[in-house]
Amino acid sequence: MVATHKISIHNTPASRLPSVDFSNLPFGKVYTDHMLIADYHHGAWQSVRIVPYGHISISPASPALHYGQSIFEGMKAYRNERGEALVFRPLDNWKRLNRSAERMCLPEVPEELFMQGLQTLIELDRNWIPDVPGSSLYIRPFLFSADEYIGIRPSENFTFMIILSPVGPYYSTPVKVCIETHFTRAVRGGTGYAKAGGNYGGAIYPAKLAQDRGYHQLIWTDGIEHKYVEESGTMNVMFVKENSLITPALNDSILAGITRDSVIQMARYWNMPVEERKISVEELINGLRDHSITEAFGAGTAATIAHIELIGYEGTDYHLPPVEKRDFSNRVLLALDEIKRGHAPDPFGWVHLF
């Protein structure tokens, strides 16, 4: 058990806050004054502390560097009209972090450490939460092996950290994606359902090839036959077909997105039919050709809802209707934003007040 009074706090000698232009925030390049660190040694979490944001010391023999023994999460905080911090579904991120930890042979992070550490850190850097429309405070918890050992075996020492970053929109325009049928993000039995660093490192090269051709991201397909849609680069992928919301059913090669789950719950709350099932590339392309698929979007923490402008496949780009004509994705984006910022009731109990 880790209580708040056991978190030592070392304040920064000089805040960088006055130098930040909150009207022009890039994503993931600006960080707050402090960060949380906790060490795992001899089977227990210890030395929980908040220190000034900065570089950390790590052994060059760490398995995190050599074998990718690292996991992470992503969530956001918002400022309401009273200046309070609202964090969206943090307990769900904590649960998913521990599912990833189990898969990657990392220790479980106790709820008390995760939540109280997060609350203390946000209280300290509360003034970094932007109040510019479309902006938020991005929260990045992560956990990695801190062993000093080059060898393939479960580690014994670990580091858990949380850093904070004020951000603007992840995508400023609707995205162009293409269907990937050669490279593979994840396969059944692998680590696709875990938020493991290596899943994303291996995706950079094929994503770059797509970006060189004018696309923003990929739509990944299954790693066996490349016949079924799985997810997009940093998001789960969802479609509106004949007034139903359809999305690939979860399996161990697809990340269980918290925004994905939020969208599904909202749709059901509005009595919209929802289908979580296999979606073949053939069905998707036919739906784009005959216009039975009227909306396509990505759902993820960074972007919340990223409208998909077009989908490329085998040299042809299939355009979706204009964004302003998309009833469901615009409605759910607005509804989630209103709940996250405390502007609308939260019937699901998603928002935590810090």
Spatial CA neighbour of 281 closest among 178, 174, 186, 175: 178
Q: Give the Cα separation of 353 and 33 in Å (integer).
A: 21
Query: According to the model, what pLDDT value does residue 194 have?
Result: 97
Q: Judge contact between 100 and 196, C-beta under 8 A.
A: yes
Give 46-88 pLDDT, tens digit per residue: 999 999 999 999 999 999 999 999 999 999 999 998 889 999 9
Q: How far is CA 315 from CA 179, 180, 210, 213, 245, in A?
A: 10, 12, 12, 11, 27
Q: Is the domain 4-167 a CATH 3.30.470.10 member? A: yes
pTM recorded for the entire structure: 0.95
Domain ranges in the chain are 4-167, 175-340
Q: Judge contact between 308 and 317, C-beta under 8 A.
A: no
Q: Judge contact between 296 and 319, C-beta under 8 A.
A: no
Q: Give the Cα separation of 88 and 67 in Å (integer).
A: 32
Give 305-348 pLDDT, tens digit per residue: 999 999 999 999 999 999 999 999 999 999 999 999 999 999 99
DSSP 40-89: EETTEEEEEEEEES------TT-HHHHT--EEE--EEEEE-TTS-EEEES
DSSP 109-170: PPHHHHHHHHHHHHHHTGGGS--STT-EEEEEEEEEE-----SSS--S-EEEEEEEEEE--S
Q: Judge contact between 182 and 94, C-beta under 8 A.
A: no
Q: Amino acid identity of 319?
A: H
Q: Please tell me if the domain spanning 4-167 has the same topology as the one spanning 175-340.
A: no
Give 263-282 pLDDT, tens digit per residue: 999 999 999 999 999 999 99
Given the candidates 3.40.640.10, 3.20.10.10, 1.10.3720.10, 3.90.1150.10, the CATH classification of the domain at 175-340 is: 3.20.10.10
